[in-house]
Amino acid sequence: MARPVIAITMGDAAGVGPEVVAKALAAPDLYRSCRPLVVGDANRLRKAVDITGVGLEVRSVDAPEDGTYRAGSIDCLDLGVIPEDLAFGVLSPVAGEGAYQFVRAATELAVAGRVHAICTAPLNKEALQAAGHRYPGHTELLAALTGTPEVSMMLSAPKLRVVHVTTHIGLVDAVAKIEPGLVARTIRRGHETLRKSGVERPRIAVCGINPHAGENGLFGHGEEEDKIAPAIARCRGEGIDVSGPLPADTVFFRAVRGDFDLVVAMYHDQGHGPVKVLGLDVGVNITIGLPVIRTSVDHGTAFDIAGTGRADEASMLEALRQAVELAPEVEEEPAS
């Protein structure tokens, strides 16, 4: 089977994105499973190669079809939007604009079928908005670029997968937004994604909102009964193996133990906390519900170490691995 083309967006050029991309693409085994194409700025990537000492050649290409995709070099679709003197570790609207353009270009290629999946290095939300792009993050940006009305964020780490009903909104707003239809659609998206990735009958646990999942009405104002339980009943009726609402203080332990394949979290920190306890260097962010495959590192731009070569590429490698697993099958590669 042919190797899929994975478009890797370089992220915020002032952060660690260029460095983790360069380090990840120094792994020769990667090229056995995919054809990695960096969508970014070739000169910035060359600087990252120098900083990290990986000794790779950066080749500028005009289209995915021009790449050679061989270990020892990096094929870069060069948008040429990052100035030579851009400082590492400093928030910049120029870098924010660059990060936006990298995602836009990669998304257009994916929608057109010229690449088979997108893997994103981290962008900085404040820099993105300083550049005039009013999105809370990658998830919402990708939804807008693809015209997708609703998507979900899934975090994946060894022994734990979490999908979120709400993400980048305040806690009070999150509780107000949660309703049975949204919860049911989130469960279905998670179920479908796991089925596509080879889990034949996913076992799904759904968190409650309140402590002890409301303790039969003792805590909260009936949110579990009104907002969550009807969605679970609906999905069970569709044949989905789903349990809940369950107390969030124990359900993640049970999932890591092997009782569940997926946990549905109600809000950002409820789901992010347990995944990140397992390690920032092993987590992967997957946007589900898009018409294209998108995975991402599960860490930020790390301005404090950007430009030092110290950034760890483990999460990028895992994100690339999962992008390959989720990508559609490719019949053949063009002759080199």
DSSP 78-99: E---S-TTPPTTS--HHHHHHH
Query: What Å distances lie between residue 52 and 6, 306, 310, CA to CA?
Result: 22, 11, 8
Residue in this structure with the two tokens 């394949």, named with its chain if needed: 261
What is the distance between the terminal CA atoms of the chain, rounded to a whole angstrom? 16
Residue-level pLDDT at 298 = 84
The backbone torsions φ and ψ at residue 274, rounded to the nearest 5 degrees and listed phi first, read: -60, -40
Residue-level pLDDT at 280 = 62
The tokens describing 23, both together, are 């380090």
User: What single letter denotes the amino acid at residue 104?
Assistant: R
Whole-number Å distance between alpha carbons of 13 and 166: 28
CA dihedral 244, 249, 254, 260 (to 10 degrees): 40
Whole-number Å distance between alpha carbons of 147 and 141: 10
Whole-number Å distance between alpha carbons of 57 and 73: 4
> Chain centroid to CA 271: how far?
14
Q: Could you list the mean pLDDT of each consecutive 10-residue stretch along the chain, which spans 336 residues?
A: 94 98 95 97 98 97 96 97 97 98 98 96 96 92 95 90 94 96 97 89 97 82 94 98 96 97 97 84 84 92 96 94 89 74
**What is the per-residue burial (b if ≥16 Cβ within 10 Å, else e) of 272-294?**
bebbbebebbbbbbbbbbbebbb
pTM of the model: 0.87
Residue-level pLDDT at 77 = 98
User: Would you call 156 helix, strand, or coil by DSSP?
Assistant: strand
Quick one: CATH architecture of 159-277?
Answer: 3-Layer(aba) Sandwich (3.40)
User: Where, residue-wise, is CATH 3.40.718.10 in the chain?
Assistant: 1-149+286-336, 159-277
- Find the length of the chain: 336
Whole-number Å distance between alpha carbons of 255 and 205: 8
User: Would you call 112 helix, strand, or coil by DSSP?
Assistant: coil
Whole-number Å distance between alpha carbons of 263 and 261: 7
User: What single letter denotes the amino acid at residue 108?
Assistant: E
Residue in this structure with the two tokens 């997708």, named with its chain if needed: 148
Whole-number Å distance between alpha carbons of 216 and 220: 10
CATH class in words for 1-149+286-336: alpha beta
> Chain centroid to CA 225: how far?
31
